[in-house]
Structure 1
Amino acid sequence: MFGKSWYEDVVKGNFVTMSRIFKTVDLFAGPGGLAEGFSSIRREGRPIFDIALSVEKEPSAFRTLRLRAFTRQFREIPDAYYRYIAGEISRDELIQAHPAEWKAAEEETALLELGSDDAKAVIDQRLDAIRGDGNDDTVLIGGPPCQAYSLVGRARNRGNSSYDPAADHRHFLYREYIRILDRLRPAAFIMENVKGILSSKVEGESIFERVLADLRNAGGAPDGYTLLPLVNEGKGRHGEHIIRSELYGIPQRRHRVILVGIRSDRLAVPSILTNHWLSADATTRSVADVLGDMPKLRSGLSRQADSEVAWRAAAVDAFEAAARACRADRAGELGDIAPVLDAHRATIDAAKEKLPRSDRRVTAVRDNWLSDWLIDDRLRALPNHETRGHMVTDLSRYAFAATFAERRGRSPKASEYPSALAPDHKNWESGKFADRFRVQTWNEPSTTITSHISKDGHYFIHPDPLQCRSLTVREAARLQTFPDNYFFEGNRTEQYVQVGNAVPPLLARQIAEVVLGLLEPDTDD
Structure 2
Amino acid sequence: MDLFAGCGGITLGFVTAGFELVASVESDPWAAESHGANFAAVSRGTNREAYHKAYDITRETPASVFRDLGISGPVDEQVDVLVGGPPCQAFARVGRAKLRHEAYRRDEDDADIAFLVDGRVNLWQRYLHYVRETKPLALLMENVPDILNHGGRNVAETVSEHLRREGYRVRYTLLNASWFGVPQTRERMFLIGVHEDLDEDVVFPSPTHFSVLPIGYEGTRATARKLINATHGDIEHSHCLISDPSEKDDLPKATTVENAFADLPPIHALDLLKSGKIARGRKDPSEPMRYTSAMPTSAWSRLMREWPLFAASDYSTGHVIRYLPRDYKIFHLMEEGWQYPEVWRFVEEKRRQLIEQRWASGEAKDDDEMQAFIKEWTLPYDPGKFPNKWWKLRRDKPSRTLMAHLGKDSYSHIHYDSEQARTISVREAARLQSFPDGFVLRGSMNPAFKQIGNAVPPLVAYTIAMTMRPIIGCRPMPDICRELLAEDSQSLPATEGSGEKCVS
Deviation per CA, 1:34-89: give whole Å up to 9, x if none: 111101123xxxxxx1101011111111111111113426xxxxxxxxxxxxxxxx
Q: Does the alignment pair 1:114 with 2:57?
A: yes
Q: How does 1:55-70 map to 2 (within 5 A)?
A: 55-70=25-40
Contact 2:388 2:412 in 1 (8 A): yes
Unaligned ranges ≥5, structure 1: 1-24, 43-48, 74-100, 230-240, 313-357
* SS of equivalent residue, structure 1 residue 507: helix
What corresponds to 2:11 in structure 1? 35
What corresponds to 1:331 in structure 2? none
What corresponds to 1:379 in structure 2? 313
Deviation at 1:479, TM superposition (A): 1.0
CA gap 1:469/1:130 in 2 versus in 1, 3 angstroms: farther
Question: Following the alignment from structure 2 to structure 1, what is the Cα–Cα distance between the partners of residues 69 and 6?
Answer: 19
Question: Following the alignment from structure 1 to structure 2, what is the Cα–Cα distance between the partners of residues 300 and 63?
Answer: 34
Contact 1:178 1:215 in 2 (8 A): yes
Query: Which residue of 277, 287, 303 maps to 2:205?
Result: 277
Q: Does the alignment pair 1:53 with 2:16?
A: no
CA gap 1:109/1:494 in 2 versus in 1, 3 angstroms: closer
What corresponds to 1:260 in structure 2? 192
Q: TM-score, normalised by structure 1?
A: 0.67
Q: TM-score, normalised by structure 2?
A: 0.69
CA gap 1:273/1:447 in 2 versus in 1, 3 angstroms: closer
What corresponds to 1:168 in structure 2? 118
CA gap 1:153/1:524 in 2 versus in 1, 3 angstroms: closer
Deviation per CA, 1:291-318: give whole Å up to 9, x if none: 14321113389xxxx7542589xxxxxx
Contact 1:128 1:184 in 2 (8 A): no
What corresponds to 2:128 in structure 1? 178
Deviation per CA, 1:234-272: give whole Å up to 9, x if none: xxxxxxx111010111111111111111111112x5xx5
Question: Following the alignment from structure 1 to structure 2, what is the Cα–Cα distance between the partners of residues 133 and 120?
Answer: 7
Deviation at 1:377, TM superposition (A): 6.2
Contact 2:13 2:458 in 1 (8 A): yes
CA gap 1:72/1:170 in 2 versus in 1, 3 angstroms: same
Aligned CA-pair RMSD: 3.1
What corresponds to 1:157 in structure 2? 99
CA gap 1:136/1:60 in 2 versus in 1, 3 angstroms: closer
Deviation per CA, 1:101-156: give whole Å up to 9, x if none: 9964335454211112x557723767996774885861101111111111101122
What corresponds to 1:26 in structure 2? 2
Question: Following the alignment from structure 1 to structure 2, what is the Cα–Cα distance between the partners of residues 426 and 290?
Answer: 30
Question: Following the alignment from structure 2 to structure 1, what is the Cα–Cα distance between the partners of residues 304 and 395?
Answer: 20
Question: Following the alignment from structure 1 to structure 2, what is the Cα–Cα distance between the partners of residues 395 and 108?
Answer: 40
Q: How does 1:214-253 map to 2 (within 5 A)?
A: 214-217=162-165, 219=166, 224-229=167-172, 241-253=173-185
* SS of equivalent residue, structure 1 residue 141: strand
Structure 1 window deviating more from structure 2 (122-131 vs 419-428): it is 122-131
CA gap 1:362/1:311 in 2 versus in 1, 3 angstroms: closer
CA gap 1:435/1:183 in 2 versus in 1, 3 angstroms: same
What corresponds to 1:360 in structure 2? 289
What corresponds to 1:321 in structure 2? none
CA gap 1:144/1:423 in 2 versus in 1, 3 angstroms: farther
Query: Which residue of 416, 425, 436 maps to 1:463?
Result: 416
Query: Which residue of 419, 430, 433 maps to 1:477?
Result: 430
**Identity over the aligned pairs, expressed in percent?**
27
Deviation at 1:183, TM superposition (A): 0.9
Deviation at 1:280, TM superposition (A): 2.6
Q: Does the alignment pair 1:309 with 2:292?
A: no
Deviation at 1:412, TM superposition (A): 4.0
CA gap 1:252/1:59 in 2 versus in 1, 3 angstroms: same
Deviation at 1:453, TM superposition (A): 1.4
What corresponds to 2:81 in structure 1? 139
Question: Following the alignment from structure 2 to structure 1, what is the Cα–Cα distance between the partners of residues 301 and 206?
Answer: 17
Deviation at 1:372, TM superposition (A): 3.2
One-letter amino acid matched to 2:188: R
CA gap 1:263/1:109 in 2 versus in 1, 3 angstroms: farther
Q: Does the alignment pair 1:293 with 2:263?
A: yes
Q: Does the alignment pair 1:427 with 2:369?
A: no
Contact 2:270 2:328 in 1 (8 A): no
One-letter amino acid matched to 1:147: Q
Contact 2:183 2:433 in 1 (8 A): yes
* SS of equivalent residue, structure 1 residue 153: helix
What corresponds to 1:12 in structure 2? none
* SS of equivalent residue, structure 1 residue 209: helix
CA gap 1:104/1:311 in 2 versus in 1, 3 angstroms: closer
One-letter amino acid matched to 2:148: L
Unaligned ranges ≥5, structure 2: 210-250, 279-286, 351-376, 479-504
CA gap 1:518/1:300 in 2 versus in 1, 3 angstroms: farther
Contact 1:300 1:389 in 2 (8 A): no
Question: Following the alignment from structure 1 to structure 2, what is the Cα–Cα distance between the partners of residues 291 and 511?
Answer: 25
* SS of equivalent residue, structure 1 residue 256: strand
Deviation at 1:32, TM superposition (A): 0.6
Contact 1:362 1:379 in 2 (8 A): no
* SS of equivalent residue, structure 2 residue 40: helix
Deviation at 1:476, TM superposition (A): 0.4
CA gap 1:104/1:468 in 2 versus in 1, 3 angstroms: same
Question: Following the alignment from structure 2 to structure 1, what is the Cα–Cα distance between the partners of residues 436 and 317?
Answer: 11
Contact 1:278 1:514 in 2 (8 A): no
Q: How does 1:190-201 map to 2 (within 5 A)?
A: 190-201=140-151
Contact 2:92 2:146 in 1 (8 A): yes
Deviation per CA, 1:365-386: give whole Å up to 9, x if none: 4432651353366535321112
What corresponds to 1:411 in structure 2? 338
Contact 1:299 1:388 in 2 (8 A): no
Contact 1:438 1:458 in 2 (8 A): yes
Greater RCO, CA 8 A, separation 6+? 2
